[in-house]
């Protein structure tokens, strides 16, 4: 006797965004979001190592995010901003922290 095989449907929620050359050339702001899990020293280390901030600037950004919920890290061309955020997220996940950054176009 064989058991019936359940039918499953795979639904993809991935959305792809195609950026124009003008959008890629625009500067983008890297924003850090506060969380209550990632240690402050780890955040500061990531800001120094990946975003190349001075220790003083990194501490200021970290404390601003801690008290205000978010803070401006730096402004870069889109691809560089995206790559740095990816590396920061990768380092945080590898260390087991939910540290989060996002991009927004610079006005």
Average model confidence (pLDDT) across the chain: 89
CATH number for the domain running over 21-105 = 3.30.1390.10
> pLDDT digits over 22-35, tens only?
666 789 999 999 99
Q: How far, in Å, CA of 28 to CA of 93, rounded?
A: 23
Q: How far, in Å, CA of 71 to CA of 60, rounded?
A: 9
pLDDT of residue 21: 67
For 28, other C-beta atoms within 10 Å of its C-beta total 22
Give the pLDDT band of residue 41 (cuts 50, 70, 90): very high
pLDDT of residue 18: 63
> Can you tell me the mean pLDDT for 31-54?
98
| Domain boundaries of the chain, sorted by first residue | 21-105
Residue 10: is its pLDDT beyond 60?
no
> Can you tell me the mean pLDDT for 77-82?
97
pLDDT of residue 7: 66
Give DSSP secondary structure letters for 89-101: HHHHHHHT---EE
Q: How far, in Å, CA of 61 to CA of 44, rounded?
A: 8
Q: What is the dihedral of CA 102, 91, 50, 21, to 10 degrees?
A: -50
Tokens of 84: 């740095």
Q: Partners of 77 in the beta sheet? A: 27
For 4, other C-beta atoms within 10 Å of its C-beta total 5
Q: Partners of 101 in the beta sheet? A: 32
């Amino acid at each position: 006797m064989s058991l019936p095989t359940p039918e499953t449907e795979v639904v993809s929620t991935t959305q792809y965004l195609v950026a124009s050359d003008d959008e890629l050339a625009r500067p983008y702001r890297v924003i850090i979001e506060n969380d209550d899990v990632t240690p402050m020293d780890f955040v500061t280390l990531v800001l120094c190592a990946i975003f190349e901030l001075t220790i003083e600037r990194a501490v200021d950004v970290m404390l601003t995010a801690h008290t205000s919920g978010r803070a401006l890290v730096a402004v870069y061309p889109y691809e560089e901003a995206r790559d740095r955020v990816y590396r920061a997220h990768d380092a945080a996940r590898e260390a087991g922290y939910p540290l989060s950054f996002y991009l927004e176009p610079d006005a």
